[in-house]
């Protein structure tokens, strides 16, 4: 069995070596072949030189792919199309895999009837996390933990398959289609949603997935992400992404002005909490900031659903 690990990267020459070193330090079980492909998404720093230097150590196990079209989805699709292994693994350029990552993935696909798997993102803090950081919004900084039990990815799972720690059968990706390119982060903004859109197509196709708590990655959390400004911006653009998705689907719930009614209730709570925090000087509390972020979610959702173009 062959596994192609795809890493999309853009101007991360400082963090990329740690990601690659972890991939080549992890134990590879007998019966599994691993190749790592880095997709340089038009970087302007020394990314290519970093990869060429590491190729001297890792040889043909490390491959370089260049994708000029800006955007994470374009980069991922380029990497998938440039490889042909039985399995496709995806991590981000600011992550490191656990030493058991390959063993867990190999066992999942050789002993079970599965089409895709995912696991938790464990934060590696560059500075101590601030007191106001709401755990509910951990995904803003790549902190995702679905619990310590194996559970299926299905309509009842309280989240999605995150594309920074995922392994697919190539056959299922070819069946449902690759990442949509009208969503996803680019150099011009924090637009996202490509993982959620693909996850929806996987479930609709009947593909079988499993959350595996031992399939761990460790995600670097830089100080630039540990600011309220970053959280607000991320939540707004996440909302924009979901608003764009709302144009293409209908949920089984009551709608008002093109959006689920429960979104208005969450926004109202966020507005009240934000005003209370303003006058009570209590914005540092994680609970208050969590409610405020719900408002930014809604504002982005409304903008994306009704006004976003291009």
Report H helices in the chain. 16-25, 47-58, 72-81, 101-111, 170-176, 194-205, 228-246, 261-280, 286-306
List, as one string, the DSSP characters of 253-295.
S-EETTEEHHHHHHHHHHHHHHHHHHHHT-TTSHHHHHHHHHH
Of the pLDDT bands very low, low, confident and very high (cuts 50, 70, 90), residue 281 is very low
State the average pLDDT over residues 212-229.
96
pLDDT at 239 (0 to 100): 87
Which of 81-90, 104-113, 139-148 has the weakest average pLDDT?
A: 139-148
Sequence-ordered list of residues with C-beta below 8 angstroms from that of 65, at least 6 positions apart, any chain: 37, 38, 39, 40, 78, 79, 82
- Give the closest residue to 228 by CA, choosing from 288, 301, 182, 174: 288
State the average pLDDT over residues 150-166.
91
* Structural domains of the chain in order of their starting residue, each with its CATH number: 2-225 (3.90.550.10), 247-306 (no CATH)
pLDDT at 279 (0 to 100): 41
pTM: 0.85
- Give the closest residue to 88 by CA, choosing from 116, 55, 66: 116
């Amino acid at each position: 069995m062959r596994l192609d690990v795809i890493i999309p990267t853009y101007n991360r020459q400082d963090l990329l070596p740690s990601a690659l070193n972890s991939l080549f330090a992890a134990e590879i079980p007998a019966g599994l072949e691993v190749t790592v492909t880095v997709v340089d998404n038009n970087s302007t720093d020394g990314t290519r030189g970093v990869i060429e230097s590491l190729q001297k150590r890792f040889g043909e196990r490390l491959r370089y792919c260049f994708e000029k079209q800006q955007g994470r989805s374009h980069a991922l699709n380029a990497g998938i199309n440039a490889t042909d292994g039985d399995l496709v693994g995806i991590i981000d350029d600011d992550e490191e895999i656990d030493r058991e990552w390959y063993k867990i993935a190999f066992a999942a696909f050789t002993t079970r009837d599965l089409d895709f798997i995912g696991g938790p993102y464990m934060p590696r803090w560059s500075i101590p996390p601030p007191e106001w950081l709401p755990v509910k919004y951990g995904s803003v900084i790549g902190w995702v933990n679905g619990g310590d039990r194996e559970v299926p990815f299905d309509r009842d799972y309280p989240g999605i398959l995150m594309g920074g720690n995922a392994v697919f059968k190539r056959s299922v990706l070819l069946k449902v289609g690759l990442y949509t390119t009208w969503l996803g982060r680019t150099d011009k903004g924090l637009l996202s949603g490509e993982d959620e859109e693909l996850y929806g197509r996987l479930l609709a196709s009947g593909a079988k997935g499993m959350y595996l708590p031992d399939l761990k990655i460790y995600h670097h959390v830089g100080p630039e992400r540990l600011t309220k400004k970053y959280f607000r911006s991320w939540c707004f653009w996440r909302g924009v992404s979901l608003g764009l998705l709302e144009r293409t689907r209908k949920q089984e719930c009551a709608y008002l002005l093109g959006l689920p009614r429960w979104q208005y209730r969450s926004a109202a709570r966020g507005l009240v909490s934000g005003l209370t925090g303003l006058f009570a000087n209590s914005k540092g509390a994680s609970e208050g900031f969590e409610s405020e972020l719900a408002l930014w979610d809604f504002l982005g959702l409304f903008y994306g659903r009704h006004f976003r173009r291009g």
